[in-house]
Amino acid sequence: MVAGAGSGKTTSLIKGLASILAIHGKRLRLRRQRVACITYTEIAAGEIWADVGSNPLVHVSTIHSFLWSLARGFQQDIAAWVANRIDERLRELQHDAANFGPRVQQKTRDKNAREITRYQQQREAITQVRSFTYGTGSDYAKGILGHDDIIKMASQLMIQRRLFRTLVAQQFPFVFVDESQDTFPIIVEAFMAVQQQERARFCLGFFGDPMQRIYPTGIGTVPKPDDWRAIPKPENFRSPTSILNLANAIRRDGDDLVQIGGRKEKNGEQEVSVVGTARLFVLPTDAHRDERVAQVRAWIANANDDELWQPALKNDQVKMLVIVHRMAAKRLGFGDLYAALNDKAPEAFKNGFLDASAWPLRPLVSLLLPLADAVREGRDFDTMRLLRLHSPLLAKANLQGVNIAERLKELQVVSNQVDELMGSQSQATIRDVLTLAKESRLVEFDPRLSAYLEDVAANESETDENLDEGEEGLSSEIRSMAAFLACPANQLRPYQAYVNEESPFSTQQGVKGAEFDRVLVVLDDDEGTHVQFSYEKYLGLKELSARDRKVLQEGGETSVERTRRLFYVCCTRARQDLVVVLFVPDPAAAVVHIRGLGIFPEADIFSQDALA
Ligand SMILES: Nc1ncnc2c1ncn2[C@@H]1O[C@H](COP(=O)(O)OP(=O)(O)OP(=O)(O)O)[C@@H](O)[C@H]1O
């Protein structure tokens, strides 16, 4: 199913699941088979599962946990894969070492040497691992595989092993994939291989929209074999007319898909189209952007006669979508944390900052923050559940001959300390929190993180001039980690609230699939540190760089295409009213230019004058 925003793809997927249960439920139960539904996030998985009445015959999960549930039984294959993977990494590191130029700094050489030793030790250690498990970050020596490994390992198994494919189809004769545009190509290939082998015994469905691909690792368009059925959905059920027109205009320069319909409302007996609003404000990039956004909101409240547009401190009814949010970070109180993992930081940190998946953040977000909250709020059951799940001190193998009551007491004390260190008045740094957690063995540590905690000397912040290529990536990691560990620990809670969507801000990348009545989209290249998106280039306000032109010539895509897709996703989230606020250095010239693009009707483009 390939269809535009708001066309009801997810709704259809859920109805499809319900139909399968109605038609095949009895047989599935008898054969101990289940229906699999794969979503992009845990949150989406929870929503869909609730929509099918939490039926145990439906297995809704992210691709990672789905693949792990399939592969975990193949321990011998996993062990062989890991050994191979370590050998590969070793060869890469040794190759780097042999090719370091004369200007490569000593600390980079040292880090390379340490990594080589670490992998050699891991190579030794895995021979002792009895069974591998799945964790947030890889630690092969302890038998833990991380997210990326699961994808690579399981898809390889699926592509290469006939028996594995048979097993997939036997366990899950129906597999639906939502948001298929952001699925890794290797996963699509793997599922297709199962389908080719099993034919009518395996029903595979992809639901997506190539124009809503956000991640560079996503496949975009899933190739359709000739004997597959395409299910069109031309109508848009979410957007009011004004926003539907905008969505079609944005797509016109992309893939030309045109949607019809638009959201309708009951008016007595009749169904009438909702008109809604879609406006653009073009404002100057200066130090008053916060105030200007507030002014726009007040203006809309007045124009729409809707008080809910007024800025609110609590229960804000307007969803504000920002690209990467320095403004939100500063205002919500995690400016340093934002800077550490975004300014001149490795791409993986920047991307992983948005959904808290970056490896330096994982132990904090998955255990230490929720643990501190549970302790503070006296939720003993949650405290225990978290510790059981994450702490090696409570793992069965480590409890033999131990006085459990004492161990629990010990853990309670450390948990309280973690909470204190992260309190709003605390002077502690993130390094203090992580060091405490590591030394008290509260949580298993990603070896990369352990290395930075142990190695104080290599972490001292200094700026590196004249970096050789290749060294730059490692250096930016070292610099970022130094800044990260030095961050005040009391910035973690506001950051967590932001990531958990408890603030009125969301990232533009994170709102896929969601819908809100009132949406305000901030376009501000000056705020973002992400080179992959540029609203000024997308709107033609800034020239393409020489590098962009080269990429285009080579058939690649530039920030223009990526930004168009992001913009499309943002604008199509609104069910009623949309405002786009564009910050640019020269608003007057921008207004003239944008009028000529035909994306927004002229009457809906405003400048600072309207706010005066
Ligand atoms: N057949 C329908 N009739 C009326 N409303 C519908 C229908 N199908 C879906 N909707 C409504 O339209 C909205 C969008 O549906 P849904 O989220 O399933 O679309 P989608 O294609 O998955 O959207 P997106 O690609 O933007 O994530 C929802 O509010 C849903 O309740």
ipTM of the complex as predicted: 0.99
Q: Looking at the structure, do residues 315 and 348 belong to the same domain, yes or no? A: no
Q: Looking at the structure, do residues 312 and 191 belong to the same domain, yes or no? A: no
pTM as predicted: 0.80
Query: Ligand 1 pocket, 513 CB below 6 A?
Result: yes
Indicate the residue among 207, 240, 269 that finishes a domain.
Answer: 207
Give pLDDT tens digits for 420-452: 999 989 999 999 999 999 999 898 888 889 889
Q: Looking at the structure, do residues 479 and 534 belong to the same domain, yes or no? A: no
Q: Which residue has the higher pLDDT, 501 or 271?
A: 271
Q: How far is the CA of 28 from the centre of ligand 1 (A)?
A: 28
- Residue 136's pLDDT band (boundaries 50, 70, 90)? low
For residues 332-345, give the mean pLDDT: 90
Indicate the residue among 189, 207, 225 that finishes a domain.
Answer: 207
CA distance 11 to 546: 44
Protein residue closest via CA to atom 11 of ligand 1? 237
Q: Which residue has the higher pLDDT, 256 or 494?
A: 494
Q: Which atom of ligand 1 is nearest to the CA of 3?
A: 21
Contacts of 413 (CB under 8 A, 6+ apart): none
Q: Looking at the structure, do residues 493 and 589 belong to the same domain, yes or no? A: no
Residue 239, in any domain of the structure = no
Query: Ligand 1 pocket, 518 CB below 6 A?
Result: no
CB-based burial label for 552 (10 Å; 0-12, 13-18, 19+)? middle
Mean pLDDT, the chain, whole residue set? 90
Q: Looking at the structure, do residues 145 and 62 belong to the same domain, yes or no? A: yes
Residue 262, in any domain of the structure = no
pLDDT surpasses 60 at 457: no
Q: Where are the alpha helices (DSSP H) in 99-231?
A: 106-125, 147-160, 162-171, 185-198
CA distance 443 to 388: 10
Contacts of 480 (CB under 8 A, 6+ apart): 340, 341, 344, 345, 346, 349
Q: How far is the CA of 410 from the centre of ligand 1 (A)?
A: 51
Indicate the residue among 180, 207, 234 that finishes a domain.
Answer: 207
Mapping DSSP to helix (H, G, I), strand (E, B) and coil, where does residue 326 land?
Answer: helix
Domain holding 161, by residue range, is 10-207
Q: Where are the alpha helices (DSSP H) in 490-534?
A: 492-499
What pLDDT score does 396 carry? 81
For residues 484-493, give the mean pLDDT: 95
Q: Looking at the structure, do residues 314 and 353 belong to the same domain, yes or no? A: no
CA distance 274 to 84: 58
Residue 226, in any domain of the structure = no
Structure tokens at 468: 């050789």
Q: Looking at the structure, do residues 51 and 200 belong to the same domain, yes or no? A: yes
Structure tokens at 538: 């997308």
Q: Looking at the structure, do residues 494 and 584 belong to the same domain, yes or no? A: no
Q: Looking at the structure, do residues 297 and 350 belong to the same domain, yes or no? A: no
For residues 506-528, give the mean pLDDT: 85
131 annotated ligand-binding residue: no
Q: Which helix (H) or strand (E) holds 450?
A: helix 447-454
Beta strands in 214-370 (DSSP E): 235-236, 260-261, 264-267, 270-273, 277-284, 318-322
CA distance 550 to 254: 20
Supply the CATH number for residue 135's domain: 3.40.50
Query: Ligand 1 pocket, 180 CB below 6 A?
Result: no
Q: Looking at the structure, do residues 419 and 534 belong to the same domain, yes or no? A: no
Residue 200, in any domain of the structure = yes
Query: Ligand 1 pocket, 470 CB below 6 A?
Result: no
Q: How far is the CA of 569 from the centre of ligand 1 (A)?
A: 14
DSSP 46-76: HHHHHHTTT-TTEEEEEHHHHHHHHHTT-HH
pLDDT surpasses 80 at 354: no
Mapping DSSP to helix (H, G, I), strand (E, B) and coil, where does residue 144 land?
Answer: strand
First to last CA, the chain: 47
CA distance 316 to 338: 23
Residue 242, in any domain of the structure = no
CA distance 404 to 414: 15
What pLDDT score does 471 carry? 52
Residue 405, in any domain of the structure = yes
Cα separations in angstroms, 42 against 21, 322, 497, 591: 22, 22, 17, 41
Q: Looking at the structure, do residues 87 and 137 belong to the same domain, yes or no? A: yes
Contacts of 132 (CB under 8 A, 6+ apart): 72, 75, 78, 79, 82, 143, 144, 145
β-pair partners for 126: none
When mean pLDDT is compared across 146-155, 309-318, 455-464, 512-521, the lowest value belongs to: 455-464
CA distance 238 to 169: 35
Number of domains in the chain: 3
Residue 224, in any domain of the structure = no
Q: How far is the CA of 13 from the centre of ligand 1 (A)?
A: 10
4 annotated ligand-binding residue: yes
pLDDT surpasses 90 at 463: no
Between CA 216 and CA 218, with CA 217 as vertex, the angle to 5 degrees is: 95
Percent of the chain with pLDDT strictly greater than 90:
64
Q: Which residue has the higher pLDDT, 245 or 529?
A: 245
Query: Ligand 1 pocket, 182 CB below 6 A?
Result: no
- 332 and 503 Cβ atoms separated by less than 8 Å: yes
Query: Ligand 1 pocket, 6 CB below 6 A?
Result: yes
What pLDDT score does 529 carry? 58
Residue 234, in any domain of the structure = no
Q: Where are the alpha helices (DSSP H) in 216-275?
A: 241-252
Q: Looking at the structure, do residues 555 and 432 belong to the same domain, yes or no? A: no
